[in-house]
Chains A and B, each alone.
Chain A
Amino acid sequence: MFVSKQEIEDRIISILRNQFLKYSNEVLEKYKNQIEATVKWYVKSLPRHVASSEADDLTSEAKIAFIEALKTWDPRKGELWPYVSVRLKGSMQDFLRKRGSDPVAGMYEFITSAANVYMAFNRQTVHHDKIDDILHVDSAMKVLDNNEKQVISKYYRDDKTFKEIGKEIGLSESQVSRIAKTATLKLKKSLTGEKLKKPVQ
């Protein structure tokens, strides 16, 4: 039976690795400080609201990733820490992405929620207090184009979400959000008697 050099080396590595993995807790203990430093360094780069809520979870996630990385580390290709540290960062990113709090993945949610807060604020001040009371809605609505009128009436009168409105009109949620924002500004200006500037095309 012919066995190549590569096969024998692989077998030796696999035996050594199996034996080595029995002491994975010992390895984890040895690299504990470095893992924590990596997590701290990564957490620093995150927005504050994410960092405060996810720091503990990220540490445990990093430790799990460390143990996983030990299973695939090949000493022929280099030292342990450089190999593992890259994987730690990747696993933390994956974790945040799955949780939906990754800085990039969460950007959309952040903008939507900010828009909602903004709209909620405007709903109180502009519409409830002024539009309903002064009953100038119809005249104010003349400033808006068709899409804007639809969005505003569906959002404020029918109490629908941007997503639902978007489906009905055939626009995306973010487009509806943008339309609602500009329409509200137009209404606000119209009701307070400010002259509207012509939109730049």
Chain B
Amino acid sequence: MADRRIGKKLKISGRIKQISTNMPVGLPPVLRRFWGFARDMAKRFSKNLHQNREDELLRAVEKDFKKGL
């Protein structure tokens, strides 16, 4: 019985891995709604660059939307 338990992986339930790219505080409501889309597109643009510039791209979007629609 003890041998079987050693072979099995330990399952941790009830804990969800925290998403690294959290939504920043103070986003305009419009952008808050489209944040997922913006992040996805920033990822696609950034994929074609040497460095990962996803955050920089998203910051530009955030800055622009803060000026208003």
A interface residues, Cβ below 8 angstroms from B: 1, 3, 8-9, 11-13, 15-20, 23, 26-27, 29-31, 75-76, 80
Contact = CB atoms under 8 A, between A and B. Distances in A.
The contact size tier of chain B is 10 to 19
A12 B41 contact: yes
Given A16-B61, A29-B50, 17 more contacts: A3-B30, A8-B34, A12-B38, A13-B41, A15-B60, A16-B38, A16-B57, A17-B45, A19-B45, A19-B57, A19-B60, A20-B48, A20-B49, A26-B49, A26-B50, A31-B48, A75-B44
A76 B43 CA distance: 12
Nearest to A30: B50
A12 B48 contact: no
23 contacts: A1-B69, A3-B30, A3-B69, A9-B34, A11-B64, A15-B60, A15-B61, A15-B64, A16-B45, A16-B57, A17-B45, A19-B56, A20-B45, A20-B57, A23-B53, A26-B49, A26-B51, A27-B49, A29-B50, A30-B48, A30-B50, A31-B48, A75-B44
Nearest to A5: B34
Contacts of A12: 34, 37-38, 41, 61
Interface string B54-69: 0011001100100001
A30 B46 CA distance: 12
A28 to B, nearest CB: 10
Interface of B: 30, 34, 37-38, 41-42, 44-45, 48-51, 53, 56-57, 60-61, 64, 69
- Which of B38, B41, B48 has its CB near the most chain A CB atoms (within 10 A)? B48
Contacts of A23: 49, 53
Which 6 A-B residue pairings sit nearest by Cβ, starting from the closest? A75-B44, A19-B60, A20-B45, A12-B38, A15-B64, A15-B61
A73 to B, nearest CB: 9
Contacts of A17: 45
A31 B47 CA distance: 12
Contacts of A26: 49-51
Contacts of B69: 1, 3
A16 B50 contact: no
